[in-house]
Homo-oligomer: A and B are copies of this chain.
């Protein structure tokens, strides 16, 4: 087995590439100057740019790197399919109408075995290879970003399922009747409650019913923004699509705002209860949390622990650890995860 792996994270507007050693050290990366998707008029040019970029990075570290020292390329992207090696209907890519046969195209251009998976699976693989998952045969990785993504490791394998679509825990129903409308078209999905966006929705529900004489500062901010209106705020540079965002809630909770704490409590309750159900499925040794929302730390984790423990079937009590991803503060966690695809099963 060779010593290095290429990891490529295809995100919203750009692709970040890193060459990674077996310890998870990124030897060289294009992070200062990633490949911009919108600068390429078609997929072919984009793939060519990726391959040229890899060759440039090898050249940059030519004292230690050659193409022969690289085991392969791993790519992580939303809506990517491991089974077919394609990216389909990715709304963030300019050629989103196409089914992008990225694995085939990469392998034709550059002489390295290439594999691809969605960002949630890749995050789980990264944690398994370089993070808290080292040597752990059963764990679940939950990514709390805009949505709720997940990757499941069981019996020493990443569970991909028959169609490569396993691990959509964000779309398990947590409120069966009267649940929130989800982007998927259904109601009550976990991610409509447990995600940055879900927490913001909880905030607005709670703020709308909180009494006028409630001493919440968050409420004052909300009322002021509401008075001005979302459109006007956005014209002034406000970047969110709801009047309150998860960062506002975290900020005010840290200052002791009780209503903000209640918002975290409710979010943690829904996640903790859902985690008790995940445990009844695969009996993991631990559940690893990753993503922006996890940076709020115990604000979220305390209620998660409390409600998970309250909700567990007795045989599971005290058996599953909750951990924060070792890569959560790593700027290139997604690149590391993608590179871990190369080592999977080796």
Q: Does any Cβ of B come within 8 Å of A22's Cβ?
A: no
Q: Indicate if the CB atoms of A162 and B313 lie closer than 8 Å.
A: no
Partner of A155, one of B159, B168, B315, B319: B159
Q: Does any Cβ of B come within 8 Å of A41's Cβ?
A: no
Give the nearest-CB partner of A164 in chain B: B283
Q: Indicate if the CB atoms of B281 and A281 lie closer than 8 Å.
A: yes
Q: Does any Cβ of B come within 8 Å of A175's Cβ?
A: yes
CA A215 to CA B161, docked complex, whole Å: 47
| Interchain nearest-CB distance for A167 vs B (Å) | 7
Q: Indicate if the CB atoms of B138 and A314 lie closer than 8 Å.
A: no
Q: Indicate if the CB atoms of A166 and B152 lie closer than 8 Å.
A: no
Partner of A162, one of B281, B283, B314: B283
Q: Indicate if the CB atoms of A161 and B283 lie closer than 8 Å.
A: yes
Contacts of A168 in B (CB 8 A): 280-281, 313, 315
CA A184 to CA B174, docked complex, whole Å: 20
Contacts of A217 in B (CB 8 A): none
Q: Indicate if the CB atoms of A162 and B277 lie closer than 8 Å.
A: no
Q: Indicate if the CB atoms of A138 and B161 lie closer than 8 Å.
A: yes
Q: Indicate if the CB atoms of B160 and A281 lie closer than 8 Å.
A: no
Q: Indicate if the CB atoms of A172 and B277 lie closer than 8 Å.
A: yes
Contacts of A161 in B (CB 8 A): 138, 154, 282-284
1/0 contact trace for A40-61 toward B, CB 8 Å? Answer: 0000000000000000000000
CA A295 to CA B184, docked complex, whole Å: 35
Of A168, A284, A313, A315, most B-chain CB atoms within 10 Å: A313
Q: Does any Cβ of B come within 8 Å of A233's Cβ?
A: no
CA A82 to CA B172, docked complex, whole Å: 29
13 residue pairs A–B, Cβ–Cβ below 8 Å: A138-B166, A159-B282, A159-B283, A161-B282, A162-B319, A163-B316, A164-B283, A165-B315, A168-B281, A169-B280, A172-B281, A176-B273, A186-B311
18 extra interface residue pairs, beta carbon distance < 8 Å, beyond A157-B157, A161-B284: A137-B162, A138-B162, A152-B281, A155-B158, A159-B282, A159-B283, A163-B283, A163-B319, A167-B283, A168-B313, A168-B315, A169-B280, A169-B281, A172-B277, A172-B280, A176-B273, A186-B311, A281-B282
